[in-house]
Chains A and B, each alone.
Chain A
């Protein structure tokens, strides 16, 4: 199976939106490759004809009626927001800078 270079590790960190230090990137390069080596064992199994299992209890289409039910007030929903203004969550500008 594939080996991760340090650039690969940095790319995956970017995809996961994790800001990592140089030291963390170096450590992860070694650790992730060591863990990926453990995955190699799976290549021994021929799974061409085996269906995947995503969940084990085989429940299907558990849906509720499409009716409005009581929900949070704006105050409850916003109570944990790190920055807010009135009934809005404050975030940095998304459009414009980049």
Chain B
């Protein structure tokens, strides 16, 4: 995929494939991914007009990932939500019910291999990224995870981001689609409180619908709030634990391929 960029593992981050021995990596060399940027500024001691996006490194790595996904016909999905909204459970159900699809999973958490072990039980190849102190995945971490995962052309790669509705919004991973998950046990005004995430998502999955009779969650209100942030956002209502609506989600995935 990128024999030219020569980049190394991000500092403090571990990326582990289930069944593999954990390996510690060296720090990334500053500027390793910056080879596309050329600036011919004046001599030292002078003002240098840079006009460079602070996220340029991440955006370049994301473009690199996206190119890889697109050239191999891989559908990459970035799943974002608060902690506990049911991302992993939805993935488990999806992998069981979508037996005809070839799927891979990248799991992102600060600590533990727990989610990767849950996914591995479904038989899907999975890589766990532990961000250590980090509050989000970035494109470089995903790049390394993809190298470990080696997904075949035409497959689906699910990237389960760190549970956090704020920071992951800013970091493009090179995904084809961003999917925000909100559960009915949260507040229906989440899209108002965290508009960045809903603005940048293509689909909003409302999960734990089986619990709707017991909680104070207004589905119509939640959708209206999300549409304020993003008028084009689509919605699906599911119950990942019961499997209700998961088929609709699988159909949605198939339409994007």
- A and B from one complex: no
Q: Which residues of B contact A (CB under 8 A)?
A: none
